[in-house]
Structure 1
């Protein structure tokens, strides 16, 4: 195994004046970045607009593929996430009549990639990262919404909605799809674009058989549905459905939104309908957006990370994993040189090709969820079993990337001097 840290470089970089790094956003990417920076000798400070309670309750659950799980090794959170998550051993794809179209076996991921894929409550993952930050003495300021950013030659000045302002040497914008920092420093950049899909989901107790680690997904006639359940976990379910606007269901009360989702899946095979019968309320929906490719990710002393730089839709299960990888690569670029401009440029050059591959895969998967005419459904059922093997091969190349072993290696399938055999 190749070492991830260079102690000599860390010592040199830690004594550099640009050692205090502000991170706007205590999401998964921002928290992982703070942990990595602290380990490498920097002084990270996190600012989060939400309260701690809101951060811990945001969203329902997510799946971390092997590349994301391995990324957590770089901040010593891997074992705890593995312990508290649900191993996802396979993905089953069915058509609207319940006929299996494909079964993607993931049971070899531990042997092939060093870790299984894991499904975990988003709040649990966030909580693990916050607790780790607090244990290591990293400052997290909750309820601190940035209202102004000034990118000066020698520092970045920040104003907040409450409390006094602050100056930091470098600033990382990890504040999500609708990044305020991005709009401040790049006011002419395009806005996120609605993909035509809205997602919902939740965690519910329902009397259905365990799936034994299989995530079962249905291409329904009106909407897409997926779920997983084990004896030790309730049902984790999600769906997505076409909509003309991102606000199509925003006005619905939680009970009405649940009724709307049940209607979308009324013709689904069991146990989809039984799962949704147990769902009395859905608190919110999630319009799915794409971010057009941005010209650059940094200017002066400020750099973008995660969804602020490149929104990844949920259709390939890579959004959180890409943010984790971003954090490890950016921190390693910063520790490798005293020139933060060169570090930002290297980070962007390393990440852009990989992000482009993930975005391409995500958009391909999303397009299959928009089919709703009889002809398009027929063609999808006919072609999907032929297309899935190509998608699986592309996905396995993504999973093979070990950012924890060699974060500055540009080839995503190259690990410490050898090609991965998977």
Structure 2
């Protein structure tokens, strides 16, 4: 680091260099090299574990548009200074605005809730904004993985997960018949994880949410050449990036213009053309047709979509797995992380954040479990520390969905700020690593005594007492016109 950067890091509480803890002797095999899997690989390595990473793709997947990362996950960057400075340089400090479909402004521009002035005092570490290009963020993670010498085994497909409790190992069978084993196997391979066959209680069927999301990202030049786009936004490359939500009538669109990339998304009622694939094979004309089926949007928003170059648009079906309390195999040697453990709808703005929190928590619990013999119970402790918090985070997606798709316009007329996307303090103010250090012993005792030692959660909304819930129940509440925020016990602000 340069002298100036060293001084900056010291002032902001950022490590001057990556500091690895003593080796634990615990072997961790991570299946899935998405953001959650890579975060787990980095944090497990930093905590002294031996790490291997597999991924079914033949190489990095360079698709995706914008991704939201909340401050609780950005805390990870402070231990990875080179990666953190790269991410900080590439993120988009957006002003967020909210519009009706017709183009009438409701609220904004304003920062995301977690960057309201009253929340910034005393915050340390790297800055937290609300927009990252997924490709740039993913590239920064891959570069950091390479810096510490980890190799990702691309094109390695898992056919089955297994464990041998007598030997104290978990493992996978690959599609070519080979077996791989480790003290802990992390299933970070998404909502369709093969680990569902060994982790008891994992719902076998994914549920369709009834929604799908068209989304695209492309060079800003394509957008700025359109006269309607120019007339509406008058955006220049050196302007502050903008992010807008266009809301109401059971669907919503979002768009962003930055110095180098334009993003947009349109969440709509699911139709037969949606699928779970990042292959950008959708004609923008299809998006316009679906938009016009649902409601009438401002012509400039449709112009932005028409300006999208071919090969940039996906139509992603939004599926959901109801919260399940157990994320580990019976012997504790296979453990789920990220979407494999807890699917999130995009309206939460929280899915990647919680996957990174998972990674920090699991790596720390394994470190505190001391060795390979204690790793299984340490993985169970991780599960106990995370489940209730993540279940609440999943519920936030439906609260934001209700705000955007079933808007209470009378309430918004009285207080326009009610239209803002909800980023509650209990989410963004959390320090997952510190919490794991603080609560591990309690969680570990809770595990080994089969619940006789009570675990007191403080990483959830204050006053909340967990109750099982399903997507079907929540969607029925929305359909019945019930306010989800008012139905939640405790302080969800």
Question: TM-score over 0.5 for the alignment?
Answer: yes
Shift of 1:390: 9.4
Q: For residues 361 and 35 of structure 1, do their structure 2 counterparts lie closer, same or farther at Cα, with a shift above 3 Å needed? A: same
Post-superposition CA distance 1:292-341 (Å, at most 9, x none): 11131112211110111111111021111111111001111111123223
Post-superposition shift, 1:2? 9.8
Which of 61, 64, 71 is residue 59 of structure 1 equivalent to?
A: 64
TM-score by length of 2: 0.72
Check conservation: 2:38, 2:142, Cα contact below 8 A: yes
Matched residue pairs, number?
394
**Which residue of 297, 317, 322 maps to 1:287?**
317
Matching residue of 1:332: 364
Pick one of 263, 269, 274 that aligns with 2:298.
269
Cα offset, 1:258, TM superposition: 1.6
Q: Which of 347, 359, 370 does residue 315 from structure 1 map onto?
A: 347
Q: Would the alpha carbon gap of residues 145 and 124 (structure 1) be closer, same or farther in structure 2, given more than 3 Å must change?
A: same
- In the TM superposition, residue 124 of structure 1 has moved relative to its aligned partner by 2.0
The alpha-carbon deviation at position 191 of structure 1 amounts to 2.0
Query: Hey, what's the Cα distance between the residues in 1 that align with 2:159 and 2:281?
Result: 35
Structure 1 match to 2:476:
none
Displacement of 1:68: 2.4
Q: Tell me by how many angstroms 1:270 deviates.
A: 5.0
Correspondence for 2:337: 305
| TM-aligned CA distance change 1:368 to 1:337, over 3 Å | same
Query: Contact conserved, 1:113 with 1:399, CA < 8 A, in 2?
Result: no
Partner of 1:23: 30
With 177-186 and 77-86 compared, the bigger mean Cα shift is at 177-186
In the alignment, does 2:373 pair up with 1:362?
no
Aligned to 1:418: none
**Residue 230 of structure 2 corresponds to residue 223 of structure 1:** no
TM-score normalised according to structure 1 size: 0.83
CA distance in 2, matches of 1:313, 1:126: 20
CA, structure 1 residues 198+94, in 2 after alignment: closer, same or farther (shift >3 Å)? same
Instruction: Note the residue ranges of structure 2 that are not aligned, 5 or more in a row.
Output: 1-11, 225-229, 439-456, 462-492
Q: Unaligned stretches of 5+ in structure 1?
A: 372-378, 415-421
Alignment-derived partner of residue 197 in structure 2 = 183
Matched, 1:84 2:87: no
Q: Give 3-state SS (helix, strand or coil) of 1:271's partner.
A: helix
1:20-55 Cα offsets, whole Å, 9 max, x none, are 110010010110111111111110100100022xx3
Aligned to 1:417: none
Correspondences of 1:251-262 after superposition (within 5 Å): 257-262=283-288
Q: In the alignment, is the contact (CA less than 8 A) between 1:183 and 1:189 conserved in 2?
A: no
Paired residue for 1:237, among 264, 268, 287?
264
Q: For residue 343 of structure 2, give the secondary structure of its aligned residue in structure 1.
A: coil
Larger fraction in strand: 1
Q: Greater shift after overlay, 295-304 or 260-269?
A: 260-269
